[in-house]
Amino acid sequence: MRITILNGEPDAALPFHAYLETLTNRLLALGHTATKLDLATLDLKGCTGCFGCWVRTPGECSKCDDSATVCRAVLGADLLLLASPMTMGFTTALLKRAADQMIPLLHPYFVVEGGEIHHRARYAHYPVFALLLGAGPDSDAEDVEITRTMWGRMARDLKSRLAWSTVAERNPEEVADELARVA
């Protein structure tokens, strides 16, 4: 299975980085193709709502940055693991910046899906979503649930579903083994 991991922790010195490193290595050892993108090392200018990716350069962000690297890695995966510590009851702004710049993966046209208006698919396949949260000092079960719900909606926007989520409390090998059984 091809797995793309988006690391939304901005600080490389924090243990969440090492946790993801161990998890990635375990997935590789299990024979999966695991690619981890440390978002903090990429140049992501953020979405400014210009719609260039829909009406000027269809399918591609008009900004000269690394968002194409993220889009290619997302589309090339069977499973997309969004990984982020929780801060103020949600995932980091760094992870959201990458997510906002995924709209080139959709087509602007409106369609009705599951009784709601959405944008049309641009691609034949999208990865299944998974979410790995680092528990914050003040995050509780309700925060985790709200965060899961919002990313579930994001997955739905991207023609997918949030198939799995966990809080990074168990050892990373165990989490990797469970993740490998998803999708």
Minimum CB distance to another protein smaller for 24 or for 67: 67
Stretch that binds another protein, among 14-22, 24-32, 152-160, 168-176 (CB under 8 A): 152-160
Minimum CB distance to another protein smaller for 5 or for 44: 44
Stretch that binds another protein, among 25-33, 55-63, 162-170, 174-182 (CB under 8 A): 55-63
Q: Is 64 in the site for another protein (CB under 8 A)?
A: no
Residue type, 61: C
The DSSP element (H or E) to which 68 belongs, if any, is helix 67-75
Query: CA 58, 63, 68 angle in degrees (round to 5)?
Result: 70
Minimum CB distance to another protein smaller for 60 or for 178: 60
Q: Sheet of 162-167: strands edge to edge?
A: 33-38, 2-7, 79-85, 128-134, 162-167
Q: Is 160 in the site for another protein (CB under 8 A)?
A: no
b/e sequence 61-90, b meaning 16+ C-beta within 10 Å: bebeebbeebbebbbebbbbbbbbbbbeeb
User: Are 3 and 33 contacting, i.e. CB atoms less than 8 angstroms apart?
Assistant: yes
The 74-103 site mask, x for binding another protein (CB under 8 A), equals: -xx----------xxxx-xxx-xx-xx-xx
Give residues in contact with another protein (CB under 8 A): 46-49, 51, 54-60, 71-72, 75-76, 87-90, 92-94, 96-97, 99-100, 102-103, 105, 107-112, 115-118, 120-125, 138, 142-143, 146-147, 149-151, 153-154, 156-158
